[in-house]
């Protein structure tokens, strides 16, 4: 019996060591998350997107003029009605602002929709799975724009916020030194205006 206990304790200590390795602090950040203005998009749009992601994640996000550096993870805004909504090829993804104007939303609705799409773009860039919580912006695999407009929180749920942070750290991304990570102010629920057939995001 004593021998069995000793073996078990030995196994436990090995497990603890491997768990401790997994929990060890990540290496120093080697990359940044940057938003760049691609074809048709303005630098103001990139600034606005970077500010939104800074407010809603713990990742350090900057709007970048010029070419990203090696190690950077990039969200490239484009504004082209003929381009797809987004194309993900890590470490870069695009988000087509022209597609977000589908159905001619008013400014408030467009801003909210753009924020939702940015949250999802970042999750796609990190290869994160959809969420099972209907309040979460990552709910559903391929929501339509109409679905996105209806997500009540307009933001990551707490577990998704945590896994996004872990995903960023795992990729060596710089984190905010004093992250607020707070949800954006709640916007009034969108009016139930019938929309044309919604596009898949």
Q: Is 115 helix (H, G, I), strand (E, B) or coil?
A: helix
Q: Is 78 helix (H, G, I), strand (E, B) or coil?
A: strand
Strands 73-78 and 92-96: parallel
Query: Closer to Zn ion at the Cβ: 74 or 138?
Result: 138
- Distance CA(150)–CA(36), nearest Å, equals 28
Query: Closer to Zn ion at the Cβ: 118 or 136?
Result: 136
* Binding of Zn ion by 157 (CB under 5 A): yes
Window 125-154: contact mask with Zn ion (x via CB under 5 A): ------x-x--x-x----------------
Give, in degrees to the nearest 5, the angle at Cα 73 between 70 and 77: 120
* Binding of Zn ion by 123 (CB under 5 A): no
Query: Closer to Zn ion at the Cβ: 74 or 157?
Result: 157
Shortest spacing between CB 130 and Zn ion, in angstroms: 8
Nearest to 132 by CA among 110, 163, 111: 163
Shortest spacing between CB 166 and Zn ion, in angstroms: 13
* Binding of Zn ion by 45 (CB under 5 A): no
Query: Closer to Zn ion at the Cβ: 94 or 124?
Result: 124
Choose, by CB under 5 A, the member of 160, 164, 173, 201 that binds Zn ion: 160
C-alpha distance from residue 180 to each of 56, 132, 175, 177 (Å): 8, 25, 11, 10
Query: Closer to Zn ion at the Cβ: 46 or 136?
Result: 136
Scan for tokens 């082209």, then name that residue.
80
Q: Which residues pair with 175 in a beta bridge?
A: 59
Shortest spacing between CB 115 and Zn ion, in angstroms: 15
Positions that interact with Zn ion (CB under 5 A): 131, 133, 136, 138, 157, 160
């Amino acid at each position: 019996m004593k021998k069995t206990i000793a073996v078990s304790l030995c196994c436990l200590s090995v497990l603890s060591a491997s768990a401790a390795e997994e929990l060890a602090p990540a290496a120093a950040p080697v990359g940044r998350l940057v938003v760049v203005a691609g074809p048709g998009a303005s630098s103001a749009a990139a600034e606005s997107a970077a500010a939104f992601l800074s407010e809603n994640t713990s990742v350090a996000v900057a709007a970048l003029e010029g070419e990203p550096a090696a190690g950077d993870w990039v969200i490239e805004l484009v504004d082209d009605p003929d381009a797809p909504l987004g194309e993900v090829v890590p470490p870069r993804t695009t988000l087509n602002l022209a597609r977000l104007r589908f159905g001619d939303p008013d400014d408030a609705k467009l801003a909210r929709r753009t924020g939702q799409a940015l949250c999802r773009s970042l999750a796609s860039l990190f290869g994160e799975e959809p969420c099972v919580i209907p309040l979460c912006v990552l709910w559903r695999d391929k929501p339509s724009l109409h679905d996105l407009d209806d997500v009540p929180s307009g933001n990551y749920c707490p577990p998704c916020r945590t896994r996004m942070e872990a995903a960023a750290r795992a990729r060596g991304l710089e984190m905010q030194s004093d992250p607020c990570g707070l949800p954006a102010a709640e916007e009034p629920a969108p009016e139930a205006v019938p929309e044309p057939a919604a596009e898949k995001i």
